[in-house]
Every structure is written in C-alpha cells, then in structure tokens.
Amino acid sequence: MKDGWIKRALPRSLYGRAALILILPVVTIQLVVSVVFIQRHFDGVTRQMSRSVELEVAHVLAQVNAAPDADAAFARVAGLAMALQLQVALPGQGVAGERRAFYDLSGRTVVSALRTGLPALRGIDLKSDIREVRMLLTTRHGDMVVVVDRRRVSASNPHQLLVLMIATSLLMTLIAFIFLRNQLRPIKRLAKAADAFGKGRPVRYRPTGATEVRSAGSAFLDMRARIERQIEQRTMMLSGVSHDLRTPLTRLKLSLSLAEETPETAEMLRDVSDMERMLDAFLDFARSEALDDPEEVDPAELLYNVVDRFGPSVTLGPVPAGTMAMLRPLAVERALQNLVGNALNYGTCCTVGLEVTDRVLRFTVEDDGPGIPAEQRTAAMQAFNRLDEARNQNRGSGVGLGLAIASDIARSHGGVLRLGESAALGGLKAELVLAR
C-alpha cells in the first residue's frame, strides 16, 4: 500500500502517461544541465575574471597608498585607471557592506572573489546599476571608490541560457505533443470502434497508425467478423431447425385434432403446443442479437408500449419523458416484455419504472412473487436454466430463456441485467441497465 498514493497521482489515460514520460526527462535534463553548467562553468569563469580585476584594483590601491598625499595619489593613478578601464574617485563616497539582487547568481561569486583578494574592500554594490560593479576601499588618504564594468568581472548573464533552454524545450515539447497525439489517435479510434461494437453499434473502422496499432486493429476486425459470423450462423441454424420442426409438428397437431378426442389426445396436443412454444423461445434467443438496428428513440415510449401490451396488471412508476437515446427498440422491448412476463408468471402484479442519468438508462421491473435467492441469481440469467426451488414451475412453463435473452440484449447495449430484491413488493427486482 506504500505506492498507492503514487498510483493515484499518476494520470490514468494513455495520453497523460505518455506526456509524463515525455516531460519528466526533459525537465530533469534541464535541471541537471542548468546546475552543472551554471555552477561549474559560470562559477569558474566568473571567479577567474573577478581575480583579474582584483589584481588590477590591488595594483591601483598599492599606488595610492605609496603616494605621500591624496593629490599626489590621485595624480599617480589617474592615467593608470584610464589604461585599466577603471573609474577611480579619491576621496570617494560609497555604500559599505554588500548590495546584490537575490537572483544575481554570478554576483555571489564576484563578491566572494573580490573580498578574498582585497582586504581593504569595505563595500561592494552590484544592485544600483546592474551594468557596473562599485567598490568602496579604505586607503591611507581616505575612502576610494572604484567602478568597473560588470562584463569584466562575470560571464554573460546565465539567465539568457536558461531562457534559451526553456524556450527550446517548450518548442520541442509542443512538437512532441503533436506527434504523440497523431500516434494515439489510431488507438482512440480502435477503442471507440470496440466500445461501439460492444454496445451493438458497429462503426466503420480501418486500421491506421504504427505497426503494432495496425496489428491490433486487424485482430479486432478479424474478431468482430468471427463474432458476427457466429451470430449469423447460430441464428440461421436455429431458424432452420425451427422451420424444419414446425412442419411435422403441424402435421402431428392436425392428426391429433382429427382423431377421437380422449384424455390421451388432449395431453398430446398440450405437449405439441409446448414444443411449438419452446421453438419460438429458441428462435427469439437466437435472434436477440439481430432484431433491429440502433436508432434514436425515446425510452419512455418503449416502456409505454410494454405496459399497454400487458394491461392493468402492470403499474407504471416514475418515467421521465423527452429523453432520446441510441437503442435497438425492438430488442429493448423484447427484453422488457420478457422481464414483465416473467414477473407476472410468478407473481400477481408488477411495477415498472425508468431512471435516466447522463450515462445510463435504468429500467426496473418489480414483482410480488417468491423472488430468487442471491446465490442463484447469476445462474438464473444463464440460458436454459430453470430454478425449480426458487420459482413455482406450475405458475409458468418457460424454457429458461427469458432472463438470458434480456441479459444478452443488455450486454449488446453496453449494459447489464441485475437481479435483486424488491423493497416495495417483496419479490424479484430486475434492473435493465443500458448505456446511453
């Protein structure tokens, strides 16, 4: 758990993580180069230049101290100061102590070098005029002020290097971001196509991008084609089986209806009717993935159609109207009909409702039946699974496909079918959650 905060701090998207991988080395290199270059190169160069000026000022100071009086001292150093490009004032007034801007990195080295070589130095001013160095020195004839061009004691301002590095880094980072976006765009398109296919909304997709992304895109297209082919084959197989079996069942039903009416023939007619109903259920299950195409519909209208189909046994709860969503209307209606029919088979009444959020649609169907135990709810949504102990089979004669069909339709819309306990009616609560 020690690295849990690190995982929470890291960006979740691939774009954010790739940008972090790009920016972190650039910033690290900038810091390392800046520290090493400024501290070593600029510091060494500035110290050498300051040492040269310190020797010149020390020579001038020695000439002043060697003169018998102030006038003679000034006359002696006037020509020398001009030759050395120094401005000398004797006597002169200056500020004692050290004056330097906090951001003047090279100024710290200048002050240190001059104080080391000039014991008579009382003050140094680098702040009043950033283009010059003003020194206050003590002599036998009073205070002397020496002014030196700042370019003679320190290298060029290191901030220029920093500005150049930052500007270049920003430009290269921008170029890298553009390149990174172009590389991630095919991945986003692949994710969008996979998400749409998972919601039953196939979109046009063509693999692009790097070789690895193209391979993943081609694998996705192959997988999508195999799944669509398997669904089509399953539908055709069950449709063919249903069609082939209907003919002998119809002949058998006709023969039984023409035969003498006995308890045995009545029982056989019921068996034939059950077989026809089972074939219809099998065909519905096979066609649950391909009932219709997605379109913009009002989910409230679908719920109204289901309620009208079942009549007064169904109570309509809160239903927000005027919301549009991309759905397969026939498939959603089939799922709701299965849920409501299942509720009425094992209960006396049911309540349906609709909740709409920014991301999902939540249809609810509640009944007053015996419900399904929590440990058996997952098995109840599997095809051809009938829970004898949970639901009274004398109340219904299904083949265990109603919940399986509803669950498949929910998954094809990027959603899920949840089973729970109804707090209002005490029976089963089914939630059909669909992505918008």
Residue pLDDT, tens place only, 93-146: 877 888 888 878 778 888 888 888 888 998 999 888 888 999 999 998 888 999
Q: In what side-by-side order are the strands of the sheet with 97-99?
A: 87-89, 142-149, 132-139, 121-125, 97-99
Give the residue from 156, 171, 186 where a domain finishes.
Answer: 156
- How far is the CA of 365 from the CAs of 34, 112, 316, 376, 419, in angstroms? 67, 84, 10, 18, 10
- Residue 305 structure tokens: 């159609």
The answer to whether position 266 is within a domain reads no
Confidence of residue 395 (pLDDT cuts 50, 70, 90): very low
Q: Are 176 and 25 in contact (CB under 8 A)?
A: no
Query: Which domain range does residue 47 map to?
Result: 10-156
Q: What is the pLDDT of residue 170?
A: 81
pLDDT of residue 391 exceeding 70, the answer is no
Mean pLDDT (whole number) for 417-432: 88
pLDDT digits (tens, 9 = 90+) for 141-165: 888 999 999 888 876 655 666 677 7
The residue with greater pLDDT, 392 or 352, is 352
Q: What is the pLDDT of residue 18?
A: 75
Give the residue from 156, 172, 200 where a domain finishes.
Answer: 156
| pTM for this model (two decimals) | 0.51
Which residue intervals of 128-210 are DSSP H helices?
158-198
The answer to whether position 239 is within a domain reads no
Q: What is the pLDDT of residue 282?
A: 67
How much of the chain exceeds pLDDT 90, in percent?
8
Q: In what side-by-side order are the strands of the sheet with 350-356?
A: 314-316, 350-356, 360-367, 428-435, 416-421
The answer to whether position 164 is within a domain reads no
The answer to whether position 118 is within a domain reads yes
pLDDT digits (tens, 9 = 90+) for 336-375: 988 998 888 888 888 999 998 888 899 999 988 888 888 8
Q: How far apart are CA 405 and CA 384, in angstroms?
A: 10
Q: Which amino acid is at 9?
A: A
Residue 427, classed as helix, strand or coil, is: coil
Q: How far apart are CA 345 and CA 391, in angstroms?
A: 9
Helices (H) and strands (E) in the chain, counts: 12, 12
| Domain CATH for 25 | 3.30.450
Q: What's the mean per-residue pLDDT of the chain?
A: 81
pLDDT digits (tens, 9 = 90+) for 201-237: 778 888 888 788 888 889 988 988 888 888 777 777 7
Q: How far apart are CA 20 and CA 427, in angstroms?
A: 52
Q: Are 158 and 105 in contact (CB under 8 A)?
A: yes
Give the residue from 130, 156, 182 where a domain finishes.
Answer: 156
Residue 52, classed as helix, strand or coil, is: helix
Mean pLDDT (whole number) for 178-187: 82
The answer to whether position 262 is within a domain reads no
Q: Which amino acid is at 52?
A: S
14 C-beta neighbours (distance < 10 Å), count? 14
The answer to whether position 97 is within a domain reads yes
Give residues with Cβ within 8 angstroms of 81, minimum separation 6.
60, 87, 88, 146
Q: What is the pLDDT of residue 102?
A: 80
Give residues with Cβ within 8 angstroms of 63, minimum separation 6.
73, 76, 77, 80
Q: How far apart are CA 205 and CA 160, in angstroms?
A: 50
Q: What is the pLDDT of residue 135?
A: 92
Residue found by looking up tokens 């030196």 in the block: 148
Q: Are 91 and 141 in contact (CB under 8 A)?
A: yes
The answer to whether position 56 is within a domain reads yes
| Domain CATH for 305 | 3.30.565.10
Closest by CA to 187, choosing from 23, 22, 15, is: 15
The answer to whether position 413 is within a domain reads yes
Confidence of residue 435 (pLDDT cuts 50, 70, 90): confident
- The count of structural domains within the chain is 2
